Amino acid sequence: QQPVQSPQAVILREGEDAVINCSSSKALYSVHWYRQKHGEAPVFLMILLKGGEQKGHEKISASFNEKKQQSSLYLTASQLSYSGTYFCGLNAGNNRKLIWGLGTSLAVNP
Amino acid sequence: DVKVTQSSRYLVKRTGEKVFLECVQDMDHENMFWYRQDPGLGLRLIYFSYDVKMKEKGDIPEGYSVSREKKERFSLILESASTNQTSMYLCASSPGPMNTEAFFGQGTRLTVV
């Protein structure tokens, strides 16, 4: 039931790209992405809704493949500030609560 | 800016004590959540509330209770703290209905000795 995130960890040099995947065994209604920097609270990145609508706040893109029950987060031209743990949260139609993945740790080095 | 404020950043309690963790949000959000976060286990939902006096169990409610007497405040109660409840506790709020951005508090690092 818990979504599977991959990879578990990734190390990048500044300017490199990364893709983080989130897969579910259940049909999805929406996918939520958050980033948590060390010692800080998780911060919202993006929501992807069934039907293709996206709501986001940053210059980070994502896709949502409803048939495959999978979402991917694309981090391009990474910056040092992208470092942190990325979590996906899935809404399988049950309304108000999300089911969270275990997170992907991303480190961007100079 | 939306603010979710947790009453303590760090807390040390003794086994068997009754512990109250308080969370206040200032944006009139319907939904409030309590999570615990442990290394390698991600975010696990303890309880959530979608209205005053309304609550629903999350994935790990055992050993916890909650109270929401006012819309802006959501309290997590450890009736009798145990060492396995040592963890980081995160409160979050979001406007209803679902598929809206959630705002998290800074977290309370609770140590039970």
Dump pLDDT digits (tens) for B21-33: 999 999 999 999 9
Peptide bond into B95 cis (omega under 30): no
Report the pLDDT value the prediction gives residue A59, as an integer from 0 to 100: 64
- Where is pLDDT greater, at A92 or B107? B107
The CA distance from A28 to the nearest CA of chain B, in Å, is: 12
Predicted local confidence at residue A28, as pLDDT: 78
Residues of A in contact with B42 (CB under 8 A): 2, 87, 100-103
Q: Residue A90 half-sphere exposure, CB side, CA atoms within 13 Å? A: 26
> What string of pLDDT tens digits covers the 110 residues of chain A?
789 999 999 999 999 999 999 998 887 788 999 999 998 999 999 888 876 666 565 568 888 888 888 899 999 889 999 999 999 998 877 567 888 999 999 999 99
Q: Is A27 on the interface with B (CB under 8 A)?
A: no
In this prediction, residue A13 carries a pLDDT of: 96
Residues of B numbered 35-64 whose beta carbons fall under 8 angstroms of chain A's beta carbons: which are they?
40-45, 48, 50, 56, 58
Contacts of A84 in chain B (CB under 8 A): none
